[in-house]
């Protein structure tokens, strides 16, 4: 029976990818958040020597600049949803 591992990282403010080279052609993901920085190194078992380079280019192209906060609420219901999310994620005021 296969084992599943789940990893959840929240409130990410930016992501970049790097191809440091070396044995196994690793892919390094650099995630920044208000809680600090996280680096994740992935090694693929696919035999595709160009995979890491293509993933680095795709991730860095898609994630240009910081991830922007949500826009200002357009209506009272949306404002309430943002307030609830703030309270749930950071214990903000009700």
As given in the structure block, the two tokens for residue 52 are 């890491």
Planar angle of CA 76, 81, 82, nearest 5 degrees: 100
pLDDT of residue 76: 86
pLDDT of residue 64: 76
Q: Are 60 and 30 in contact (CB under 8 A)?
A: no
Strand blocks (E) in 1-94: 12-18, 27-33, 36-42
Quick: pLDDT tens for 8-66: 888 888 899 999 877 878 999 999 988 889 999 999 887 787 899 999 999 998 887 66
Q: Are 17 and 28 in contact (CB under 8 A)?
A: yes
pLDDT of residue 19: 92
pLDDT of residue 54: 94
> How confident is residue 81, by pLDDT bands cut at 50, 70 and 90?
confident
């Amino acid at each position: 029976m296969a084992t599943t591992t789940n990893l959840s990282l929240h409130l990410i403010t930016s992501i970049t990818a790097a191809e440091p080279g070396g044995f196994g052609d690793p892919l390094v993901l650099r995630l920044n958040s208000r809680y600090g920085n996280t680096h994740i190194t992935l090694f693929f078992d696919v035999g595709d020597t160009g995979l890491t380079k293509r993933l680095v280019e795709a991730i860095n192209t898609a994630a240009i600049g910081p991830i922007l906060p949500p826009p200002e609420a357009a209506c009272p219901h949306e404002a309430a949803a943002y307030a609830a999310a703030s309270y749930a994620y950071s214990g903000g005021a009700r």
